[in-house]
Amino acid sequence: MTYTTAEVRALTPVRRSVEIRTTPPDPRDVFLCHAWEDRGGAAKELHDLLESRDVSVWFSEKDVLLGSTLLREIDKGLAKSRVGVVLVTPALLERLRGEGIADKELSVLLATDLLVPVVHDTTYEALRDVSPMLASRSGLSTAEGAMADVAAKLAELISL
């Protein structure tokens, strides 16, 4: 039996996903740095709130495709994003102490002009104990307003 080119493409979804995967990431407004443990909670909430305000967000849970190299995809996301947002939670503080992937992301983000820490369920004092450089940046805290308020302020910053 012989197949047309269209039939072969339809029968080979892996090939199509590989073709799609080679497309470079679009520029994003925000790179969202967060702890792995927060991906389904606070990080997802902030991501969704920002996108609902038409802010494009690089978020590992949607931008790192199955089978791709995590660190390389993060590197591409960092290069294509205008503003870095670090969601500082107890889990992130623990991750930064362990010098994992979040620590690598933070090292790159600290070298940029626009980096905004968002402190959630922790304090700036706790952040200062782990990363004095990040704590020295002007940021936002969910202790002073809901996550929706934080997203609104970030969206306003992006629009400038």
| Percent of the chain predicted with pLDDT > 90 | 74
- What is the phi/psi pair of residue 117, to 5°? -80, 140
Nearest to 34 by CA among 145, 132, 122, 159: 122
Name residue 30's beta-bridge partners.
Answer: 57, 83
Tokens linked to 80: 């294509």
Output the pTM of the full model: 0.82
Catalytic center residues? 105
CB 64 within 8 A of CB 118: no
**Could you give the count of Cα atoms lying within 13 Å of 48 in the half-sphere of its Cβ?**
8
The pLDDT of residue 6 is 58
Spans of all domains in the chain: 25-159
pLDDT tens profile 9-37:
555 554 444 444 445 558 999 999 999 99
CB 55 within 8 A of CB 158: yes
Element (DSSP H or E) covering residue 60: helix 60-63
Fold of 25-159: Rossmann fold (3.40.50)
Give the position of tokens 């080979």.
Answer: 12
As a whole number of angstroms, the distance between CA 152 and CA 5 comes to 48
pLDDT tens profile 49-81:
999 999 999 999 999 988 889 999 999 999 999
